[in-house]
Amino acid sequence: MDVFARMESEVRGYCRGWPTVFTTAQGSHITDENGRTYLDFFAGAGTLNYGHNNPKLKQRLLDYLAGDNIVHSLDMYTAAKRDFLVRFEETVLGPRGLDYKVQFPGPAGNHSVEAALKLARKYTGRETVVSFTNAFHGMTLGALAVTGNSMKRTGAGVPLGHGVAMPYDNYLDGRTPDFLLFDTMLDDSGSGLDKPAAVIVETVQGEGGINVATAEWLRGLADLCRRHDMLLIVDDVQMGCGRTGSFFSFEEAGITPDIVCLSKSLSGYGLPFAVTLFRRGLDVWEPGEHNGTFRGFNPAFVTAAGALEEYWADGALEQQTRAKGELVERGLNEIALLNAGAVDSVRGRGLAWGLVMNDPELAPRVCAEAFQRGLLMETSGPEGEVVKLLPPLTTSEADLSRGLEIIAESVGAARPAVTV
């Protein structure tokens, strides 16, 4: 273990909560070098929706590599890229009536966000992008400028410009009608708010603490964007690819964003991969105007196409996710009821859930107790006050129930440490 502390930067984070060396993983389980196996409700922060080393995708990947097929190709045409595009059109975009162009902006979620922000600014000729309280869009400068968390923002070391934050759904506890401030400021030429190029939003804020926007609020936002001629960007990096049930998290609200960011579970296998999708008419890029070395990681095209074929050809996964989500919700509500002094509330959608603790110190303790008992979970929210559950969508009901038992025990064990 010494080598990590000696050589790896102090910036390392997750490993501090799980001080062991992991070696292998399968499905919803991850094993360390001591042979101890943990149930994984972290799932690569939403990257492993189909579990670790999914066997259906692994075989495709192994076959692809064994055949000396192209691995790296910048944005050259490859058979793997073509297969992905065809599959994406047939399985995802076509059935949903979405006529989006696909940009490969680089492998990470922040690459997708940066491309979205740049394109919105180029298309509209405006600079300001509106984001929401407790938003998280990534760690590059453009994405940080539309991210809420003050610690992360300070890390930029330079002023973060051209972003304006507005209240997310229920930020003001229902004390004002939705969009009262935003709409009023847009209408008032004296408000000081420059006409925005775009609005960027997560339908469920993952890092922000599993804050769930209602379908009504999202429709209101889409309407506001239309009325004020602002582009609507949905950042579906964490909540897309089925995390909330449907492939895109905005489907339930019946809205059609102008631009969509996807990454994390898109490759289906934990391989780095991102896309930025946008209405055909927004494609004002000049060739090469936005580029990057790792935009064509062909193994990710292969597993991504495989994931679409295996999991999105019908509605089974979506239905299962909703049913499993209800199971998790029931379990968490029971835990909240039994620990009313320690737990503030339960919130979530699909298979993204948060157990909101009254005392921010309690959430990391619950996660530490869970780790001792063989379960990985992370915290989220502005104070880290939310115990966050993102199990792979393929987790069995038995494993979900086992995880909930561990959470119940962990909350019980963590409580006295701060409440006595």
Q: Which residues bind ligand PLP (CB under 6 A)?
A: 45, 108-110, 113, 136-138, 202, 206-207, 235, 237-238, 263
Q: How far apart are CA 220 and CA 402, in angstroms?
A: 39
Q: End-to-end alpha-carbon separation of the chain, Å?
A: 34
- Nearest distance, CB of residue 174 and ligand PLP, angstroms: 24
* Rg of the chain in Å (alpha carbons): 21
- Nearest distance, CB of residue 110 and ligand PLP, angstroms: 3
What phi and psi values does residue 231 have, to the nearest 5 degrees? -75, 145
Asked whether 135 and 165 are in contact (CB, 8 A), the reply is yes
Asked whether 41 and 391 are in contact (CB, 8 A), the reply is yes
Nearer to ligand PLP (CB atom), residue 206 or residue 306: 206
- Nearest distance, CB of residue 153 and ligand PLP, angstroms: 14
- Nearest distance, CB of residue 57 and ligand PLP, angstroms: 19
- Give the strand order in the sheet containing 378-380: 343-349, 352-357, 386-389, 378-380
Write down how long the chain is.
Answer: 420
- Nearest distance, CB of residue 39 and ligand PLP, angstroms: 21
Nearer to ligand PLP (CB atom), residue 237 or residue 404: 237
Nearer to ligand PLP (CB atom), residue 56 or residue 118: 118
- Nearest distance, CB of residue 395 and ligand PLP, angstroms: 20
Nearer to ligand PLP (CB atom), residue 27 or residue 270: 270
- Nearest distance, CB of residue 311 and ligand PLP, angstroms: 21
Nearer to ligand PLP (CB atom), residue 113 or residue 366: 113
Enter the tokens of residue 114: 């940066």
Nearer to ligand PLP (CB atom), residue 235 or residue 258: 235
- Nearest distance, CB of residue 401 and ligand PLP, angstroms: 27
- Nearest distance, CB of residue 135 and ligand PLP, angstroms: 8
Q: How far apart are CA 149 and CA 138, in angstroms?
A: 11
Nearer to ligand PLP (CB atom), residue 45 or residue 327: 45
- Nearest distance, CB of residue 85 and ligand PLP, angstroms: 21
Nearer to ligand PLP (CB atom), residue 206 or residue 348: 206
Burial class from Cβ neighbours inside 10 Å (0-12, 13-18, 19+) for residue 98 reads middle
Q: How far apart are CA 376 and CA 100, in angstroms?
A: 36
Nearer to ligand PLP (CB atom), residue 165 or residue 327: 165
- Nearest distance, CB of residue 137 and ligand PLP, angstroms: 5
Nearer to ligand PLP (CB atom), residue 211 or residue 339: 211
Nearer to ligand PLP (CB atom), residue 206 or residue 268: 206
Residue of this chain nearest to ligand PLP (CB atom): 109
